[in-house]
Structure 1
Amino acid sequence: MSRSELADFLRRRREALPPDRLPATAIHPPGHRARRTPGLRREEVAALAGVSVNYYERLEQARAPRPSPQVLAALGTALRLTAAEREHLARLAGQIPPGTNADRSPVPADAHRLLNRLGPIPAYLVDERQDIVAWNGAAAELITDFGLLPPEERNTVRLSLRLGGSLCSAPAGAEGEFARQSAAQLRTAGARYPADRVLGELVNEFAAHSPDFAVGWRDHDVRPIPTLRKHLHHPDLGELELDRHTLLLPGSDLQLVMYTAEPGSPTAIALARPGTPAVDPSPTRGRGVGEGEDI
């Protein structure tokens, strides 16, 4: 159990929950003070979760014993946590045993076969550190030949910091979203593998170079990975708009990242020209516009 991480997570989630989200039946102690800061008060969370104020205060002060599954469930409801946040809370509280070491064995043969069978769809595999561990020919042609990069540079976050907007750019209003999303993914990985020294070094490196990453890490922003619209700068094809899909491979820490073009779009037409790398049209439009300064 990481008492300090648990305390920080609870405090951040409490402060992020607007008071107007309180149900009409919420219990307010007599003589409660006027609000000076956004978010719920500790006594309000304690009342909603059905625990004593003293116990909840000790949780946020990293002085309480390990909470039971019932208390965690009540806190998750009181703080309106998502499924991903509830799992993260359970890991921080020691209800889900941490992993000892991430799997550093070679990429399984069936994962390589999957990449090859995707044919014209650019795709690569990343591990829990966001290191690129395998890729197909379409990704090398359309994005970059990862094989020409030193192994330590084959990391999606490090590449985004080094390349900036020269490879991808974010849509207006979404600047910095990739850094925050990366912080969320590494925060999840850190809770799963708290003894991973290299992962901790990566977090320190990225936080020092990216204020957006530092904010995402500080806020414990744990969330699922959405399908995102990407703006790719290609030297021959010009500006391309691609949908970035991320899927978790069952039974492993590996994630499959794929890129597709919307059918009939200028990008799909450009990619269909002879002599250009092809990307299969996506059957549906991406669910949202996301980060841009990554791969």
Structure 2
Amino acid sequence: MNRDELATFLRARRARVTPADMGLPGGGSRRTPGLRRQEVAQLAGMSIDYYIRLEQGRGPHPSRQVLNALARALMLSQDERTHLFQLAGQPLDPPRIREDVPGSLLHLIAYLEEVPAYVLDARYDLRAWNPMATAIMGDLDTLPPERRNVIRWVFMSPDIADFFDDDEKGRFARASVADLRIAAGRYPEDRALQALVTEMLALSPQFAELWARHEVEVRREQRKRINHPVVGPIDTICQVMPVPDRDDLRLVLYTTEPGSPSHQALRELRQLTLSS
């Protein structure tokens, strides 16, 4: 159980919910935004003293019943609810991030000849990729392993502006941090993941600001515009799919609308990779 993170998460989520959201009267002076502690305790059906101890990081190990009640009281999304349970030590045995990629998955991305595809682990380390991923993201094969990390690339790469405009980068950065926070709660004993967070907090003010929001959301389908230096802008549908029986891995595919200029740009990029 990560008491400090659980306490911070509860405070952040409480500040987000307004009395009107829960059908409560909003009168009177409020020193902080959101619900009062007493209101959360009342909505969750627990004593105010018990809830205060949870927010102060000194409460007992909450039961699943208590966590479900808190999730309802704080109007948590499914992703946020999962994160809450993980911070509270449910399940008790944290999963482990593995570094191997199943052979069947390697075969799959190799067969996707016109679609950029790569495999990410929970630390956002690139574990495998096909030639089209290299064509759209740069020469991944020549990078040292520590630089094959999407979080470092988004927040620290000097050439990130060549790929995304500010708005696009902002959306991507926010989604990535919200997803990484879930991983940090799910794998609290993974030293490499915790070291990545510590590193980024020290080096990137943007990362630190986003991390402080305590937003949690699993990355799923997103639309991205990639500014490619050779074929121009490519409007992609970035599909992030969990790998069956491997919660620590995701398959990421960049597809385009059939027949669109972006589809033609990807085909042109494919021809360039064949001729190089």
Whether 1:158 aligns to 2:152 is yes
Whether 1:200 aligns to 2:173 is no
* Structure 1 residue ranges without an equivalent (≥5): 279-295
Whether 1:58 aligns to 2:39 is no
Shift of 1:164: 4.3
1:275 aligned residue (256, 271, 276): 271
Name the structure 2 match of 1:184. 178
Whether 1:88 aligns to 2:59 is no
Contact 2:131 2:273 in 1 (8 A): no
* Letter matched to residue 74 of structure 1: A
Number of positions where the alignment pairs a residue of Structure 1 with one of Structure 2? 271
Contact 1:232 1:242 in 2 (8 A): yes
Shift of 1:266: 2.0
Q: Please, which moves more after superposition, 76-85 or 269-278?
A: 269-278
2:65 aligned residue (44, 61, 70): 70
Contact 1:243 1:261 in 2 (8 A): yes
Counterpart CA distance in 2 for 1:76 and 1:203 is 26
Name the structure 1 match of 2:107. 113
Distance 1:258 1:277, change over 3 A: farther
2:224 aligned residue (230, 240, 256): 230
Shift of 1:171: 6.3
Counterpart CA distance in 2 for 1:170 and 1:210 is 18
- The structure where helix makes up a greater share of residues is 2
* Structure 2 residue ranges without an equivalent (≥5): none
RMSD of aligned Cα (Å): 2.2
Name the structure 1 match of 2:238. 244
Shift of 1:100: 5.9
Whether 1:168 aligns to 2:168 is no
Shift of 1:277: 5.7
Contact 1:184 1:223 in 2 (8 A): yes
Whether 1:262 aligns to 2:266 is no
Name the structure 2 match of 1:284. none
Counterpart CA distance in 2 for 1:267 and 1:177 is 20
Equivalence map 1:134-149=2 (5 Å): 134-149=128-143
| TM-score, length-scaled by structure 1 | 0.85
* Letter matched to residue 10 of structure 1: L
Q: Please, which moves more after superposition, 257-266 or 70-79?
A: 257-266
Shift of 1:255: 0.7
Contact 2:164 2:226 in 1 (8 A): yes
Contact 2:114 2:267 in 1 (8 A): no
Contact 1:230 1:243 in 2 (8 A): yes
Shift of 1:131: 0.4
Counterpart CA distance in 1 for 2:235 and 2:185 is 34
Identity value in percent: 44
Equivalence map 1:205-224=2 (5 Å): 205-224=199-218
Query: Which one scores higher on RCO, CA 8 angstroms, separation ≥ 6?
Result: 1
How far does the alpha carbon of each residue in 1:13-42 deviate from its partner, in whole angstroms, 9 at most, with x for none? 00111232122xx489xxx84123211110
* Letter matched to residue 186 of structure 1: L
